[in-house]
Structure 1
Amino acid sequence: MMKERTLHHDLDAREMTRLRAFQCIREAGQISRTDIAKALNSSPATVTSACGALLEAGLIRDVEAERTDATQRGRPRVMLEVNGEALAVAGIKVARHAIHVTVVDFKGVEIGSHLSPLAASCMPAEALVMAVRQALDDACEKLGLSLDAVAGVALGLPGFINGETGFMHWSSSVRERNVDFMPLFARHLPCPAFLENDANLVAKAEQFFGAGRGLRNFLVVTIEHGVGMGIVQDGQLYRGERGCGAEFGHMKVQFEGAVCQCGQRGCLEAYVGDYALIRDASVGRQGDAYKSLTDILDAARAGDRLSGEVLERASKVLGVALASLVNLFDPEHIVIARLRPRFDEAHTQAMLDALKRNTVQVDAPLPGITVRNLDQKMWARGAAAHGIERVSILKIRARGDQDAA
């Protein structure tokens, strides 16, 4: 039975104010107490108290603001910033063939990264967590870090995952269904660990480091072996009631259509995921089937008709599905992040044309669209950003417990 209580639910009103202040400082980089009070619509006294607790916990520090005018007199304005030296956090992405580890300081500045090969693309949950532990050990050894210096681990997996509770309903990387990862983390990892859907972590990365900076409402669509989506609404990740929301890849685009890796038929990713393109372009090739998307792109450029048709169809299907997102969410921006070889411009344009044709027409511009190729490090950076947020909640809660003692 999955746990219903979450880290956020465990915080009282005073602790929530501390968390909101910390997040405000983190987003701003450097900010004064007065500006925090304005941003949070809170009293200066409340903000001063919250920031005092954060300073005592070592999560933030005072810094003098740089003077922009050499004629200014008096003491420089005191600003607050996250104390990057306070803690280190590891962000980990489980891909099909490797585990990617990125270690950052508490500001999110990368300390270093490590790539660890996986023995299999799908394995038992406990074996996977043990492989994650080995990858973390290897990363720390490579970077000259003690494991004690890592205050938290955030792990990204594909699939139906409740990021608030650490419960996995299904993942293409795990053999079992319905696994509570928290006991496995407690058994095998040396510090608090947090599980999250990998597309949500890309949304986190875009929010803090990429096209989502400064935006309150945007979408991130990831396309690799499967298709994922992260939704940021009013500056927060949207997960759904069971943590299984935003499963864009499993939106049905064809009644009783192609078989998806989730076991159902007609899912979007059964037409645009890497495995779907390889399957469809290999029809009739018998033992000479394509092994990768690069093979299909090369064949299409060499004039292979079927490969070209498969790529064009996938681009149009994706464009129509993206139009549905615009019609549903009306976001400020959509990031389409592809972990795959760069498509020819004609295929990208076919996707964008289908998106425009199928979006409800109003007298307003479409949301901004960013199409980028995505490396695994972006996932790991998003995981690290998520880890900083979760570790900060734990530290704030621990500080609250000290105050109450």
Structure 2
Amino acid sequence: MKKTMAEVQVVRPSSDQRESGRLQVLDTIRSAGRIARIDIAQATGFSPATVTAITSELLAAGLIEESSSDDQPSETRRGRPRVTLKLRGKAHRIAGLKVAQRTITMLIVDFEGKTIVDHEMEFPTARVSPTELVDRILKIVDATCRKGGFDRTGLSGLGIGLPGQINSVSNFVHWSSSLLERNVELGALLAQRLPFPVFVDNDANLVAKAEHLFGKGRESRNFLVVTLEFGVGLGIMIDGEVYRGQRGCGAEFGHTKVQLHGALCQCGQRGCLEAYVGDYALLREANGVTVGEPYTDVAQLVAAARGGDQVAMSIFERAGAMFGMGLANLINIFDPDLIILAGRSHNKRHIFLDAAVTRAMQSVVQVDAPPPEIRTHGWGDLMWAKGAAAYAIEKVSGLTVKDVTRNAS
């Protein structure tokens, strides 16, 4: 018996499905740079009609724009130019910010990720109260915006990379070496002072995102980034996504234990890897036995070791052994395609990195297959800030698409 229209259950996509579809199309356009609608359909698996409908909404919202340019020289083109879609850079200004030991670096980009302006500020102390950190962030936000010729109301979002254990979902800081207090609602404090959303994450996670989008991890979907600076961090990229753990407290490579009842770490525990290879740890050990002027920078300690100083050489020898042990554990646990050793001061650390990598390869489980590639990538705080900006672009895109979905309902 034929059913009437009233008896037929019409299944329509849910709001979440529509939002997910729009975000997938937007991400596809972002990844491609410029792409035709038919190619979006092939990349996403959506029908051409669905792609046309979604891109029409994104065009109307001002998030994307059409372009008829292509790579073919004008004198060899035949027929009507192919219409492609690209992100509309002017749709948003988005900022990324890296909190380092005594500096904060900020970068403002457009919606395509192109740099508009950057700025760096130095501060006299490393660890401060939550209120003081918020004040410092506001200070550099305003200074960077002024440098770009606009004010803070011209921003759509801010990504912040902070060392420590951070729940990025709630912008909650369990612990950070930049803060004097634990369990800080940093996102809520900033929300009271800023007219745009803020997204806080562990800085090593944002380095992994930056390496995936702009750096040495662009061709890999499964890799690890080990950051080696004042402390030690780890960013884990699995199938193209950053892994953070249930509470945002995962990937704390620097706080894995390498010595029972060992050296004191800045986290308050003993025997952490960071307590043997971080900048502060190397200087602490050197100054504990050095007679005369204390070392104030790792570069001084490196110079001493290269000059034949036995104490300095022994410090780096132990650091290399500890770091090699840690790398071997990472390889045995994750079996990644690639490990990137990243950080501003990695050039200084070549004095023990080569030995550490050799030790790691000797200590991993031996199988008849090539080991993961290990690369070094030295870059400054601007790259960290770029990772924070990329994270904020991702988050702002999600919020904007949510608005598009709400308005289309």
Given that 2:302 and 2:351 are in contact with CA atoms closer than 8 Å, whether structure 1 keeps it comes out as no
- How far off is 1:368 after superposition? 2.1
Partner Cα distance (1:94, 1:164) in 2: 19
Please tell me whether residue 309 in structure 1 is matched to residue 314 in structure 2: yes
Please tell me whether residue 283 in structure 1 is matched to residue 318 in structure 2: no
Partner Cα distance (1:248, 1:297) in 2: 24
Partner Cα distance (1:256, 1:133) in 2: 41
The one-character-per-residue Cα deviations of 1:10-62 (angstroms, maximum 9, x if unpaired) are: 97111111112211211221222222222223333333322222222211111
Please tell me whether residue 124 in structure 1 is matched to residue 143 in structure 2: no
Given that 1:155 and 1:196 are in contact with CA atoms closer than 8 Å, whether structure 2 keeps it comes out as yes
SS at match of 1:142: helix
In structure 1, the partner of 2:57 is 53
The one-letter code of the counterpart of 1:302 is G
Given that 1:215 and 1:332 are in contact with CA atoms closer than 8 Å, whether structure 2 keeps it comes out as yes
The one-letter code of the counterpart of 1:129 is V
Please tell me whether residue 274 in structure 1 is matched to residue 272 in structure 2: no
- How far off is 1:122 after superposition? 1.0
In structure 2, the partner of 1:220 is 225
Partner Cα distance (1:101, 1:24) in 2: 27
Q: 2:354 aligns with which of 349, 357, 363?
A: 349
Unaligned 5+ segments in structure 1 are 1-9
In structure 1, the partner of 2:108 is 103
Q: How does 1:221-240 map to 2 (within 5 A)?
A: 221-240=226-245
In structure 2, the partner of 1:5 is none
391-400 or 140-149: bigger deviation: 140-149
Given that 1:278 and 1:293 are in contact with CA atoms closer than 8 Å, whether structure 2 keeps it comes out as yes
- How far off is 1:286 after superposition? 5.6
In structure 2, the partner of 1:7 is none
The one-letter code of the counterpart of 1:343 is K
Given that 2:221 and 2:237 are in contact with CA atoms closer than 8 Å, whether structure 1 keeps it comes out as yes
Q: How does 1:160-175 map to 2 (within 5 A)?
A: 160-175=165-180
Change in CA separation of 1:182 and 1:77 when aligned onto 2, cut-off 3 Å:
same
Partner Cα distance (2:206, 2:328) in 1: 23
Unaligned 5+ segments in structure 2 are 1-13
37-46 or 84-93: bigger deviation: 37-46
Q: 2:99 aligns with which of 87, 94, 119?
A: 94
Partner Cα distance (1:19, 1:105) in 2: 18
Partner Cα distance (2:51, 2:170) in 1: 29
Given that 2:104 and 2:120 are in contact with CA atoms closer than 8 Å, whether structure 1 keeps it comes out as yes
Given that 2:298 and 2:348 are in contact with CA atoms closer than 8 Å, whether structure 1 keeps it comes out as no
The one-letter code of the counterpart of 2:105 is H
Identity, in percent, stands at 47
The one-character-per-residue Cα deviations of 1:247-299 (angstroms, maximum 9, x if unpaired) are: 11111111221111111111111111111111112232266332110111111
The one-letter code of the counterpart of 2:201 is E
Partner Cα distance (2:140, 2:76) in 1: 53
Partner Cα distance (1:126, 1:345) in 2: 38
Given that 1:27 and 1:208 are in contact with CA atoms closer than 8 Å, whether structure 2 keeps it comes out as no
Please tell me whether residue 23 in structure 1 is matched to residue 46 in structure 2: no
118-127 or 237-246: bigger deviation: 118-127
**RMSD of the TM alignment (CA)?**
1.9
Q: 2:80 aligns with which of 75, 89, 106?
A: 75
Partner Cα distance (2:65, 2:344) in 1: 38
Q: 1:320 aligns with which of 298, 322, 325?
A: 325
SS at match of 1:288: coil
In structure 2, the partner of 1:148 is 153
Please tell me whether residue 371 in structure 1 is matched to residue 391 in structure 2: no
SS at match of 1:101: strand
Partner Cα distance (1:97, 1:270) in 2: 19
In structure 2, the partner of 1:3 is none
Where does structure 1 differ by over 6 angstroms across 4 or more consecutive aligned residues? Answer: none
Partner Cα distance (1:192, 1:332) in 2: 35
Change in CA separation of 1:189 and 1:48 when aligned onto 2, cut-off 3 Å:
same
Partner Cα distance (1:362, 1:11) in 2: 48
344-353 or 287-296: bigger deviation: 344-353
Given that 1:166 and 1:182 are in contact with CA atoms closer than 8 Å, whether structure 2 keeps it comes out as yes
Partner Cα distance (2:117, 2:209) in 1: 19
Q: How does 1:178-217 map to 2 (within 5 A)?
A: 178-217=183-222
SS at match of 1:12: helix
The one-letter code of the counterpart of 1:14 is R
The one-letter code of the counterpart of 1:88 is R
In structure 2, the partner of 1:398 is 403
In structure 2, the partner of 1:382 is 387
- How far off is 1:74 after superposition? 2.3
Given that 1:11 and 1:397 are in contact with CA atoms closer than 8 Å, whether structure 2 keeps it comes out as no
The one-letter code of the counterpart of 1:13 is Q
TM-score by length of 2: 0.92
Change in CA separation of 1:196 and 1:11 when aligned onto 2, cut-off 3 Å:
farther
Partner Cα distance (1:38, 1:318) in 2: 45
Partner Cα distance (2:351, 2:227) in 1: 20
The one-letter code of the counterpart of 2:163 is P
